[in-house]
Each structure stands twice: as C-alpha cells, then as structure tokens.
Amino acid sequence: DQLCETFEGYTLDVENGYGDGIIEEGKTVHVWAEEREGMVFSHWSGDTERLESSIEYHTTLTMPAENVHINANYSNLLPDMEFEALTIPGAERNKKIYTYFPTKDKIKGVVWLFHGTNGNAVAWVNEIENRQLSNRLMASDYGIVAITSEESEFEIDFNNDGNFRWSYGVDSSLIDFANIRAVRDALLAGGKFNSNTPHTALGFSAGGAFTEFVAVVLKWRAAVNHNAKGNLILSENSTVPYFHSISENDNHPDVGLAGNQEARDHYQNYLDRDACVNFEEFLQMPLFAERFARSPLISKTLSAAIFNEIKTNNGLDEADYIKGLYNDLEQVVLNNISNFPVIASLTGGQRNHVKDQIQTTNAEHHFKSDFNGRTLEFIQTVCNTTGTDDHFADTKESIQITPNPAMDFITINAEGPIRIYDTAGRLRNECNDSGQDISTYQPGLYIVKTNKGFGRFVKM
C-alpha cells in the first residue's frame, strides 16, 4: 500500500507572547505580547514582515507556507515613571490633575488625556488598558497631563443634560479651555516644559470628542479621538492633524453603529480636503486563556480557569470569539451561577477587570491599547509634517465672540474695522459694527480680525 503523509501546517513561534502553534497556510492568526512587570511593550522583532503591525502588542498575520518566528520586545519603566497628583489653580476652582514629566532635555511633547462621560482623570492612572498607553508615553519621553472636566470634578451639570462631560465649542472662554490654559501656564511657569513644547489632545468617548475642539481652540499639534463619532463642522474645516479610532461593536447610546458611520463620514471629509488624518477600526478578536492576566489581580492560572469556564458553558464560538456582548454573557452567568464557580468566587476588583477585558476583546465601547503604537507614531510624525507651529497662539486670540457657535447673529467685543474671513482666507465681510448678521453664511469655521486681535467662531 502507498503510504500517505499528512502535513498539518507550519510552526508559528511567539516568544514572550501568545498565539503560537502549528498553523495552516493561509489562516489569519492573532498574536499578543505577554505582560511584563516593570516594562511596557515596544515592538516585535523577527519575521515582522509577516505582521499586520510590528508596533502593536496585539496584531495579526496570515500564515505563509513556512515557519515564522517573532519576539516581543519591551521598554523598561524606570522607578520615576509614575504619576504625580497635583492641585493647581484652574480658571475658577482648584483642579486636581495627574502628571508625569521627563526632564526638559528629554521631553518630546506633552499629551493631555481626557476621560469619558461621568469619568475622571484617575482612569489614566489605574485602568489597565488606559495605563498601558500612559506607560508607553512615559517610556517614549512624553509628558502627560490627565485632567478632569469641570462638570465631573465638581458634579455641576452646566447644560442639564444629565451627564458630566466637557465644554464643547470653539469659544476659548469656555470653562474647560480656561482650566487647561491655567494649568498649562502653571506647569510652564514651574519649568515642566518649554514654551515651544508641542501639545497633543488625546481622549476616550466624550473626552475623544473634546480633543477635536481643544486642539483647534488652543492650536495644538494633534488631536486623538478614541470611540467618539467626532464633529461634522470640524471635519469640514479643521487643519489640526487628527487620529480617529472606533470599535466594531460600540454599543454606547451616543455612538453605536450609527455613530461609527458618522465617524467614517467625518474621516472622508478630512480626506477630501487632503488634511492630515488617520482612521482605525478596532475589530472583535478571539478570547485566549491568558487574556485576563493583563490584570495584576489575576494570575495566568486563574485567567485560564476563567477562560475555560466561559468556553465550557458555551460562551465562545468554535474560534473562541465571544457570543454576543458582555451584557449577554453577564446575564448567562447570573442566571446559571452554579455553572460558574470560578467567576462567582472572584473579588469585586477581579470581576471589574474581567468585564474590562471582555468588553475590550469584544470591540465594545471601551478604551483599548491595541492602537498605542500607531497613536504614538502619529503624534511623532503627524503625517510627516511639522504639525501646528504656534502651540500657544491662543494667547493672541484676544477678542470675544458671542454666542459661539451661532446660527444667525454674533456680537464681537471690538471696535472696527472688523474683517471676517473663511478658512480659505477669503474676506466675507468688512465693517465697523460689533453686531454681525451671519444667517447667510455657510456652516463652518470663520476667523475675525480687528486692530485689537483676532478670534474665531463656528456658524452652525
């Protein structure tokens, strides 16, 4: 009889990570770098030409007809790479912030971190995925300022919408912009950075939406928006380099699938203007046994037990993708608690971390560190331009325009001559009247110049 040899696949060897095995040619494989205490992932080495990205701790490859070896590499987190809690006078009240600054001879820039709805700055210090970003910024010699919105910090719902969020608009007198300027100027006076140090706005959810506004108002180097749909008018007018990411299964009532489509439309608006923009969509990934060990509260052994319990109880499909959303899985656990003794025995902190990791894995409305490398690369290069040069130009924006944004009429606190330009530099009006009828203007951003200075407003 003729002997037949069965060839099952090729070897994928993942050093310092997960996802290795004997893999069939042509199959798409997910790989992850493992956690290392006192370190943060920096890059993959080895056969990196096979990887979708060599700078993300989680990436994919399509298995070729040959063996592949990759190795996860790390940067050390030095003992001084920790957040410092500070209380600094804001525009009207003292602000509690969390900061990290390398020495001024090393600092590459300052990244300001903005939280989501009803959140606060401490998320960037304590939450697993958020802290991975903070650690990578620290290891890359970036300063960090995590600040809480005025509404959230003092539980004041200024617009009575039932939530604590940020000040949205291009009016530089809005409270959150005023607070950021006050904090920035205090840190500058304290020698944390120089007047020409570039600043970037980075946020999640409601904080992500805020980044587009603050980067425009304060003329910062870039805006990074994770998991918010963005702003139509700014997408049609802003010249600030813009990084935007969404999640496939976003289920937040202010985003969701409809908001994701708006985000794609806004991205196209940037592209149509040849503006500097980068757009990423985070897709659901499979769960793996060591996933929950990203938490310092969960060992690899416990993580595997949680994974196996979910899998045994039919919570995963044949490729280990979670069935449904986290809320669906949670309901199954609650209704069949005797089938989940491991999960039932977890502490409150451990359960929260399990929830975070499932929502992240499932591409729901949760901050994820899977784009940290691309985020950092964008901040550094801003499409190979120099970014915004005049990072403190807002100090020259000395005239007040109200209301802002506006529909029909604005009042300008300056004497004539008053000149109004669109963003293409075309003169729209020149007169001496402080009151201006803008009802016939197209929606967008406009510049007002007077002998006293300049300002900006948005026509809705």
How far apart CA 95 and CA 88 sit, in angstroms, is: 5
pLDDT, mean of residues 31-58: 97
pLDDT, mean of residues 150-175: 92
Given pLDDT bands bounded at 50, 70 and 90, which one contains residue 414?
confident
How far apart CA 32 and CA 239 sit, in angstroms, is: 35
pLDDT, mean of residues 26-37: 97
User: 258 CB contacts (<8 Å, ≥6 apart)?
Assistant: none
195-225: pLDDT as tens digits? 999 999 999 999 999 999 999 999 999 999 9
First to last CA, the chain: 81
Cβ-contact 158, 101 below 8 angstroms: no
Q: Is the pLDDT of residue 3 over 70?
A: no
Mean pLDDT for the chain overall: 92
Cα angle 250-254-256, degrees, rounded to a multiple of 5: 25
Q: Is the pLDDT of residue 2 over 80?
A: no
How far apart CA 226 and CA 202 sit, in angstroms, is: 8
Percentage of the chain with pLDDT > 70? 94
pLDDT, mean of residues 297-301: 97
User: 298 CB contacts (<8 Å, ≥6 apart)?
Assistant: 292, 306, 350, 353, 354
Q: Which of 86, 116, 115 is nearest to 99 (CA)?
A: 86
pLDDT, mean of residues 140-145: 98
Q: What is the per-residue pLDDT for 234?
A: 94
Beta strands in 255-331 (DSSP E): 277-282
User: Which residue is listed with tokens 């994820």?
Assistant: 368
29: helix, coil or strand?
strand
Q: What is the per-residue pLDDT for 102?
A: 98
- The token duo for 355 is 């929830």
Pairing between strand 409-412 and 418-422?
Answer: unpaired
Q: What is the per-residue pLDDT for 178?
A: 95
User: 214 CB contacts (<8 Å, ≥6 apart)?
Assistant: 112, 114, 176, 177, 180, 201, 220, 223
How far apart CA 368 and CA 365 sit, in angstroms, is: 9
Q: Is the pLDDT of residue 324 over 70?
A: yes
The torsion angles phi and psi of 129, rounded to 5 degrees, stand at -65, -40
Distances (CA, A) of 13 to 21, 115, 283, 334: 7, 38, 24, 39
pLDDT, mean of residues 159-179: 92
Q: 251-265, 336-350, 429-443: lowest mean pLDDT where?
A: 429-443
Structural element, H or E, at residue 163: none
Q: What is the per-residue pLDDT for 172?
A: 82
Distances (CA, A) of 432 to 135, 327, 404, 449: 53, 60, 20, 12
Q: Is the pLDDT of residue 427 over 80?
A: no
How far apart CA 398 and CA 455 sit, in angstroms, is: 7
Q: Is the pLDDT of residue 244 over 90?
A: yes
Beta strands in 101-221 (DSSP E): 110-114, 143-147, 199-204
Beta-bridge partners for 60 = 30
Q: What is the per-residue pLDDT for 425?
A: 57
Q: Is the pLDDT of residue 338 over 50?
A: yes
